[in-house]
Amino acid sequence: VRGPRFRRLKIGAGHRLDVKASGVFVLGIGHGNKLLTDLYNCHLTKVYTVGGLFGKATDDFSDTGKLVEKTTFDHITREKLERILAVIQGTNRKALLMHSNIDMKTQEAYELAVRGLIRPMGKSPPIITAIRCLQLALPEFQLEIHCLHETQQYLRKVVHEIGLELKSSAVCTQVRRTRDGVFTLDDALLRTQWDLQSVQKAIWDCQLKVKTEIEKTLGHWDNSHLPETAAEMAHAADS
């Protein structure tokens, strides 16, 4: 939206989605941009549903890329796939602990684990905290991946590498984000709901869980981030 009335209304983007991905995409409006920064600093896990197709490889790891190889896949079983996923999860768990800079033998580590706060609180490579097979019907399969500091292209590469580990090849057919930190698909607004009242309701519906997470992880909360009424949001747009 452009024009004199909306020139000073700031809208910020959270963790981005590339053009081949879909799902939960968080935006900050006005003072909510500060909350986006706070949520970034919480380093929360994101969850994706990732589709794959065994039997071919492409130059960009997606099913729409340039075909570079075809392979057999009849030898792949769910047991073999889940064995590879367990190895990936184990390797990433070691990386998670290393980048969290926590001595696992301390009381602090125990308390952080109980609160679900063992995570890198700074920059780190992409880390998969959990991965499981939702469905396998050769040549297609579907995974659920919980991760930190990832890109959607990184997830496509994971699908490619799973194919190689199974002595085959694989391309990614879908990347859909189902959770971004405290936000889920249930919180998302459809295009038909992009109006002032729906946006205000979405903000207030999510306020408590945003506040809870920021207080738990960062230890502070500022009520001035949120508008009190739809009229206040409209005023912010006008001013």
d(CA 211, CA 39): 10
Residues written for the chain:
239
d(CA 16, CA 14): 6
Six token digits for residue 59: 């130059």
Give the SS3 label for residue 156.
helix
Q: In this structure, how many other beta carbons lie within 10 angstroms of the beta carbon of residue 43? A: 20
d(CA 165, CA 76): 11
Question: Which 8-state DSSP code applies to residue 132?
Answer: E
> Angle 203-207-208 (CA atoms, 0-180°, nearest 5)?
155
Active-site entry in 18, 205, 222, 238? 18
Give the SS3 label for residue 122.
coil
Give the SS3 label for residue 170.
strand
For residue 64, what are the CA distances in angstroms to 98, 137, 143? 36, 20, 19
Six token digits for residue 192: 């038909």
Is 18 one of the annotated active-site residues of the chain?
yes
Active-site positions read 18
